[in-house]
Structures are given as C-alpha cells and as structure tokens.
Amino acid sequence: MLLTPEDKDAPTRVRRLRRLGLGERAEPAFDAFADRLAEVAAVPYSMVNFIDEKRQFFAGLHTPGGAGSGARLITAATADGGTRGFGRHLTRDYGFCPHVVVRRKALVLEDVCDYPRFAGNPVVDEIGIRSYLGAPLIDRTGIALGTVCVVDVEPRPWGRAGLETIKSMASELVAQLERREAHGP
C-alpha cells in the first residue's frame, strides 16, 4: 500500500514557499503559534509544517516541556537502547501532514491504528503517535503550503470541536502569512 501520496503540486509549492521565505528556518513566531495551538488543543505536540518535494520542515514546534525552541521533535527508542530525535525535519514518508496537503482538507485520526493506511506509518511504530488532527494552510494563490497539526501519544476523540478548532487555527495562520507577505516579516 502506498503510504505517502503522490504530490503533483510540490514543485509549485516549493517555488511559493521560497518566494515567501518559508520552510528553511525555525521562527519564534511560528513556535509561539505552535505553543498556543498545543495549549488550545491540550496536546503534547503541535507543529506548523511546510512541505517540499522530499521533506517536511517544522517551522513552528511545540513539544512537552516547551521544547519549541529546542532541536528535538519527538524522541524514539532505538534498538540499542538509545534514543533518536527527529528534530525539525522529517521525510515525506513519515507522518500524516503530506496526506493533508495532497487532500487539501483536514484530517482527523482519533486512533491511527484504526486506519490500515495510516497504522503502518513510521511515526506510529518509531515514535508512538496514536492520534492526529491537522488542517492545510491554503494561501491566497490556492496553494497548500503545509499544515498546522496536533498529535498525541494516546487515542483521542477530537470530535467536531477539534476539527473546527484546527481549521480555525489554520485560517488564522494563513491570514498572518498573508499580512507578512503584504507588509514584510
């Protein structure tokens, strides 16, 4: 089964991201947005994620303990008893955000293990993600630049309220990006 969807819009998205100066570096404003998103959703992890042809970049990141400004995203145990940090980059094969960008609509996974297409994703086995809620960042040109998302290590009933919250937060961030484009950073 194809875990990562084909993304025909990636080259156009990459050009748009570069024009906007997004997807290359972490920014305090995006970390603050991720912190607020985590607080609103009461989750341990949240991200502002921009996606190119090969990878995802968490320009905004919240992890337990306020590690939004830190280098580690989620730490997973390795076979030798050590740990592995994924930092602010993930390949497109990891996670659920690439699906949101290609679908161009929100994705609600209360328990990823209930969905065969998503249960086999590396973030489930390697990181322990059990629930996901994400919405696309569709800008004024119609391009899905990335996502805002929240994840938990426990199954989570997001419900209609969770879906409306993530969509509202995505719209808020898109408005900020449009203001930034119009007036500069």
Read off the CATH number of the domain in which 165 is found: 3.30.450.40
Q: Is 17 strand, coil or helix?
A: helix
The angle subtended at Cα 167 by Cα 100 and Cα 132, nearest 5°, is: 50
Question: Amino acid letter at 88?
Answer: R
What local confidence, expressed as pLDDT, does residue 74 receive? 46
Residue 135 lies in a domain: yes
Residue 95 lies in a domain: yes
| Interval 104-113 mean pLDDT | 95
Residue 4 lies in a domain: no
Q: Of 165, 87, 184, which Cα lies nearest the Cα of 127?
A: 87
Phi-psi region of 159 (alpha: psi -120 to 50; beta: other; left: phi over 0): left
> Within 13 Å of residue 142, how many CA atoms lie on the same side as its CB?
1
Sign of CA dihedral 41, 86, 4, 98: positive
Residue 69's pLDDT band (boundaries 50, 70, 90)? very low
Residue 3 lies in a domain: no
| Domain boundaries, position 154 | 10-183
pLDDT greater than 90 at residue 78: no
The tens digit of pLDDT for each residue in 136-184 reads 999 999 999 999 999 999 999 999 999 999 999 999 999 999 999 998 7
pLDDT greater than 70 at residue 72: no
* Mean pLDDT score across all residues of the chain: 86
pTM of the model: 0.86
DSSP 8-state code for residue 64: T
What proportions of the chain, in percent to the nearest 5, are helix, strand and coil?
Answer: 40, 25, 35
What local confidence, expressed as pLDDT, does residue 86 receive? 56
The tens digit of pLDDT for each residue in 34-49 reads 999 999 999 999 999 9
Q: Is 120 strand, coil or helix?
A: coil
What local confidence, expressed as pLDDT, does residue 160 receive? 95
Residue 1 lies in a domain: no
Distances (CA, A) of 141 to 17, 37, 105: 12, 25, 16
Residue 5 lies in a domain: no
Residue 2 lies in a domain: no
Query: Number of structural domains, the chain?
Result: 1
